């Protein structure tokens, strides 16, 4: 039996074996049955210290980051020289930014109403996000601002029927600014830890459900267009905050004029871009605003007397730059609610932003790197922190506006920055004009956006997809509409993980044969497939302990060991053979499996490079005195 002195050197022996160029074919666990508690504790502490040091080396900040910061002035200087030498490119970028703003401002106002906020709050967010993401985002030509995906999450706090309904409206909005600030902090941490790669785990079914749920939530939020204020002395926004809304009467002329304005807006949005020449250069939202204002103040009010509610009738746009305000952390009445909303805003914002980056690179045929995703996460975090400090509603990069900017010719960061700057200019100098736009025009714009957001092919796919995938789309869509987008996407990932685990439960098979080694017969199980937590039960059923010979070899050269459940299953099998007076060896483990057993489990050691020698060593040992199973590994690659 091995002495206690073998235990402290166990990890040293294992490390030496792994790093050697002539990788052994067979190893076993150390015969350490007599090891004392203190010796085991020292060995565990030493191994833990080595892992912590390795992790610290991997997490050491890269010297490239300070160098990138030091090179920022030179980069700005090079950009200035480039645009000075290519004035046509600069002119095109400025025009693309202005066009994106004209498209985005009406949508921002509409999304502000979705979030139950003053439009100024949304315009602040669009201005800040345009500048921050334009300068520091992961991909040039990205357009960012107040988004509907975030707007549909915010009524959890701001709504008069939400969890904070007992608080005054101003206090609910103050809670939202705290949530927006914390969402930015979460996104900064997410970016600093390089966690954006986790979004690769989101299945396509969750993507489709996200889009469908977002479309449904935005559609449901437009019900206030067909509601009226029951208190004539209040603006509609104040009336909504006070809970004094009622549905319009179906027979009222203003109801039909509102519906007609929505329909006219939809027609203009759909067909104006098809007009030759002009349709390519004039944003349809600008045409909608002009037509809506002309219809309302040229026909409805002076001639018919049927008023359709305008932005100014809903709430006044105070034409002023934002001022700095520290979020009211000390006045938070419900921290769990604020933290949950902050987490939802952070997750939904990052999800839509990374989807936006993918859409842009698909158009520009450029690669999407992890560094770009990391930069986007950091830019989103900075944008939301700034919004929290300057009372903006928060935002993210936007798929439709960004792809439109690229299709218009935007390729650089100037277009995004110009979009943010022009938004502030409109807020300062053109707010009286914006106030005259009918809210029904915004609803018409959103209906078109909703139609483009909803993944219509999914309605047909549901009849072709496997039942589990179809159920995933329906689940994510329903949860998005009923709860929020973040919960829906997480549920979609969990559902897909369960489906994958269930489908892989039988993904391990074995072929049994008998080999003769030095005149001794040996039972060999050649495993194929994947040994993971869900397939462990089937693995147990493949072994016939009572009928096998005294020495059993598990050949895992064609089987992938995935997790600790696989390692534990191997140990359990070895114990079963040991209790039956038999010996178990493993061979042909790849580098990943070797790392799992030798570095992330304890008690294993090298036996021999040959099966005959390994069997001889097993014969020399009293197997029943060994606390851990006997195992063997082979064909280590790049260890």
Q: Report the pLDDT value the prediction gives residue 605, as an integer from 0 to 100.
A: 62
Radius of gyration of the chain (CA): 32
- The mean pLDDT of 496-514, rounded to a whole number, is 88
Q: Measure the CA–CA gap between 344 and 337, rounded to whole angstroms.
A: 11
Q: Do 345 and 380 contact (CB within 8 A), yes or no?
A: no
What's the pLDDT band for 3 if we cut at 50, 70, 90?
Answer: very low
Question: Same structural domain for residues 105 and 163?
Answer: yes
Confidence label for 606 from pLDDT (cuts 50, 70 and 90): low
Banded pLDDT at 622 (limits 50, 70, 90): very low
Measured CA to CA, the distance from residue 221 to residue 214 in angstroms comes to 11
Average pLDDT over residues 600-628: 55
Q: Is the pLDDT of residue 437 over 90?
A: no
Q: Does some domain include residue 52?
A: no
Contacts 24+ apart (CB under 8 A), 78-87: 83/414
Q: Give the number of other CB atoms < 10 A from CB of residue 167.
A: 18
Whether residue 626 is predicted with pLDDT greater than 60 in this model: the reply is no
SS3 399: helix
Tell me whether residue 125 is in a domain.
yes
Is the four-CA dihedral 302, 304, 306, 308 of positive or negative sign? Answer: negative
How would residue 296 be classed by pLDDT, with cut points 50, 70 and 90? confident
Q: What is the pLDDT of residue 631?
A: 43
Quick check: 555 pLDDT over 80?
Answer: yes
* Boundary of a domain, candidates 476, 495, 514: 495
Co-location of 108 and 36 in the same domain: no
- Percent pLDDT > 70 in the chain is 85
Q: Which two tokens stand for residue 310?
A: 């305008």
Same domain, 602 and 548: yes
> To the nearest whole number, what is the mean pLDDT of the chain?
81
Distance CA 147, CA 349 (A): 9
Name the band, by pLDDT with cuts 50, 70 and 90, for residue 72.
low
Asked whether the beta carbons of 551 and 618 are under 8 A apart, the reply is yes
Q: Which of 445-449, 515-519, 569-573 has the lowest mean pLDDT?
A: 515-519
Q: How far is CA 605 from CA 146, 186, 601, 631, in A?
A: 59, 43, 11, 8
pLDDT, position 30: 52
- Beta partners for 560? 530
Do 559 and 468 belong together in one domain? no
Selection from 91-105, 164-178, 430-444, 513-527 with the highest mean pLDDT = 164-178
273 shares a domain with 126: yes
Contact present, 33 and 625 (Cβ < 8 Å)? yes
Name the least confident of 102-106, 304-308, 417-421, 442-446: 102-106
Q: Do 266 and 360 lie in a common domain?
A: yes
Instruction: Report pLDDT digits (tens) over 126-159.
Output: 999 999 999 999 899 999 999 888 988 999 999 8
Q: Per residue in 115-128, pLDDT tens?
A: 888 888 999 999 99
Per-residue model confidence as pLDDT tens digits over 389-419: 999 999 999 887 888 788 777 888 899 999 9
pLDDT band at 608 (very low <50, low <70, confident <90, very high): low
Range list of H helices, 273-319? 278-281, 284-295, 311-314
Please report, rounded to a whole number, the percentage of residues in the chain having pLDDT higher than 90.
25
Q: Which of 58-62, 351-355, 555-559 has the lowest mean pLDDT?
A: 58-62
Burial of 451 (C-beta count, 10 Å sphere; 0-12/13-18/19+): middle
Kindly list the distances between the CA atom of residue 298 and the CA atoms of 349, 443, 628, in Å, as whole numbers in the listed order.
40, 20, 89
Of 154, 79, 87, nearest to 121 by C-alpha is: 154
* Among 554, 605, 613, 552, residue whose Cα is nearest residue 578: 552
Tell me, rounded to whole angstroms, the distance of Cα 476 from its chain centroid. Answer: 14
Distance CA(345)–CA(337), nearest Å, equals 12
**pTM for this entry:** 0.74
Do 299 and 421 lie in one domain? The reply is yes
Q: Per the domain annotation, does 59 fall within a domain?
A: no
Length in residues, the chain:
639
Instruction: Tell me the mean pLDDT in the region 26-49.
Output: 66
Phi, psi of 523 (to 5 degrees): -85, 130
Q: Do 509 and 489 touch, CB atoms closer than 8 A?
A: no
pLDDT at position 46 over 90: no
The pLDDT of residue 47 is 73
636 pLDDT exceeds 70?
no
pLDDT above 80 (res 476): yes
User: What pLDDT is attached to residue 419?
Assistant: 93
Q: Please state, in angstroms and as integers, the Cα–Cα distance from residue 496 to each residue in 164, 206, 291, 476, following that order.
A: 34, 9, 47, 11
CA distances (Å), 473 to each of 221, 467, 601, in order? 22, 10, 39
More confident site: 618 or 496: 496
- Does one domain contain both 462 and 481? yes
User: Is residue 510 assigned to a domain?
Assistant: yes
pLDDT in tens, 187-198: 999 999 888 888
Query: 248 and 125: one domain?
Result: yes
Contact 440, 255 (CB under 8 A): no
Separation CA 51–CA 57 (nearest Å): 10
Please say which residue of 495, 528, 550 terminates a domain: 495
Specify the range with the lowest mean pLDDT, choosing from 308-317, 450-459, 544-553: 308-317
409 and 372 in a common domain: yes
Residue 243: what pLDDT? Answer: 75
Residue 36 lies in a domain: yes
C-alpha pair distances (Å), 561 with each of 490, 534, 554: 26, 12, 13
> Is 262 part of a structural domain of the chain?
yes
Provide the strand spans (E) within 336-410: 396-397
β-pair partners for 516: 521
Domain contains 34: yes
CATH number of the domain at 29, please: 3.30.750.24
Mean pLDDT, range 229-238, rounded to an integer:
81
Residues whose CB is less than 8 angstroms from the CB of residue 370 and which lie 6 or more positions away in sequence, other chains included: 194, 196, 197
pLDDT of residue 144: 94
Report how many domains make up the chain: 2
Checking if the pLDDT of 624 tops 50, the result is: no
Domain with 190 in it = 94-495
Cα–Cα distance, 544 to 547 (Å, whole number): 6
pLDDT attached to residue 377: 94
* Residue where a domain terminates, one of 430, 465, 495: 495
Is residue 376 assigned to a domain?
yes
C-alpha 269/C-alpha 285 separation (Å) is 7
Q: Are residue 374 and residue 263 in the same domain, yes or no?
A: yes
pLDDT value for 457: 92
Q: What pLDDT does 67 receive?
A: 52
User: Does residue 145 sit in the same domain as residue 38?
Assistant: no
pLDDT tier at 639 (50, 70, 90 boundaries)? very low
């Amino acid at each position: 039996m091995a002495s206690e002195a073998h235990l402290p050197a166990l990890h040293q022996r294992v490390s030496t074996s792994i790093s050697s160029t002539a990788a052994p074919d067979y190893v076993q666990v150390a015969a350490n049955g007599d090891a004392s508690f203190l010796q085991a504790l020292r060995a565990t502490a030493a191994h833990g210290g080595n892992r912590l040091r390795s992790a610290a080396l991997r997490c050491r900040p890269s010297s490239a980051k300070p160098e990138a910061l030091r090179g920022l002035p030179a980069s700005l200087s090079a950009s200035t020289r480039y645009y000075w030498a290519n004035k046509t490119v600069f002119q095109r970028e400025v025009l693309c930014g202005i066009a994106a703003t004209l498209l985005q401002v009406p949508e921002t106002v509409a999304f502000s109403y979705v979030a139950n906020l003053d439009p100024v709050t949304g315009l602040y967010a669009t201005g800040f996000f345009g500048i921050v993401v334009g300068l520091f985002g992961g991909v040039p030509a990205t357009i960012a601002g107040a988004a509907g995906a975030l707007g549909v999450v915010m009524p959890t706090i701001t709504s008069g029927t939400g969890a904070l309904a007992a608080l005054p409206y101003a206090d609910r909005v103050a809670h939202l600014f705290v949530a927006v600030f914390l969402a930015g902090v979460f996104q900064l941490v997410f970016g600093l830890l390089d966690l954006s790669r986790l979004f690769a785990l989101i299945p396509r079914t969750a993507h489709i459900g996200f889009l469908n749920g977002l479309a449904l939530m935005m559609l449901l939020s437009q019900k206030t267009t067909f509601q009226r204020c029951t208190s004539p002395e209040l603006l509609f926004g104040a009336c909504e905050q006070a809970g004094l809304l009622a549905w319009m009467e179906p027979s009222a002329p203003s109801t039909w004029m509102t519906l007609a304005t929505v329909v006219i807006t939809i027609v203009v949005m759909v067909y104006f871009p098809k007009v030759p020449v002009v349709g390519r250069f004039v944003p349809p939202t600008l045409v909608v605003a002009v037509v809506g204002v002309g219809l309302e103040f040229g026909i409805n009010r002076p001639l018919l007397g049927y008023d359709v509610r305008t932005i100014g009738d809903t709430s006044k746009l105070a034409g002023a730059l934002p001022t700095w305000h520290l979020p009211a952390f000390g006045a938070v009445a419900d921290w769990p609610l604020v933290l949950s909303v902050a987490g939802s805003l952070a997750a939904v914002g990052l999800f839509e932003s990374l989807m936006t980056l993918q859409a842009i690179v698909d158009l520009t045929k450029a690669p999407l790197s992890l560094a770009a995703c990391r930069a986007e996460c950091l830019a989103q975090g900075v944008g939301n922190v700034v919004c929290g400090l300057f009372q903006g509603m928060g935002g993210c990069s936007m798929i439709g506006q960004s792809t439109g900017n690229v299709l218009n010719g935007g390729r650089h960061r100037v277009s995004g920055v110009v979009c943010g700057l022009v938004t502030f200019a409109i807020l300062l100098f053109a707010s009286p004009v914006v106030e005259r736009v009918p809210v029904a025009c915004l609803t018409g714009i959103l209906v078109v956006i909703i139609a483009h957001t909803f993944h219509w092919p999914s309605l047909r796919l549901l009849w072709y997809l496997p039942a589990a995938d179809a159920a995933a789309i329906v689940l994510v869509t329903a949860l998005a509409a009923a709860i929020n987008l973040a919960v829906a996407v997480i549920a979609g990932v969990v559902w897909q993980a369960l489906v994958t685990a269930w489908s892989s439960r039988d993904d391990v098979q074995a072929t049994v044969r008998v080999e003769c080694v030095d005149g001794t017969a040996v039972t060999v199980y050649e495993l194929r497939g994947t040994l993971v937590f869900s397939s462990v039960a089937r693995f147990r059923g493949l072994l016939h302990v009572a009928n096998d010979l005294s020495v059993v070899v598990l050949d895992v050269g064609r089987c992938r060991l995935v997790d600790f459940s696989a390692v534990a299953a191997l140990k359990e099998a070895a114990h079963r053979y040991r209790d039956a007076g038999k010996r178990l060896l493993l061979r042909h483990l790849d580098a990943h499996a070797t790392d799992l057993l030798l570095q992330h489990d304890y008690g294993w050691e090298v036996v021999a490079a040959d099966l005959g020698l390994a069997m001889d060593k097993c014969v020399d040992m009293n197997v029943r005195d060994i606390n851990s199973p006997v195992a063997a590994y082979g064909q280590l690659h790049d260890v």
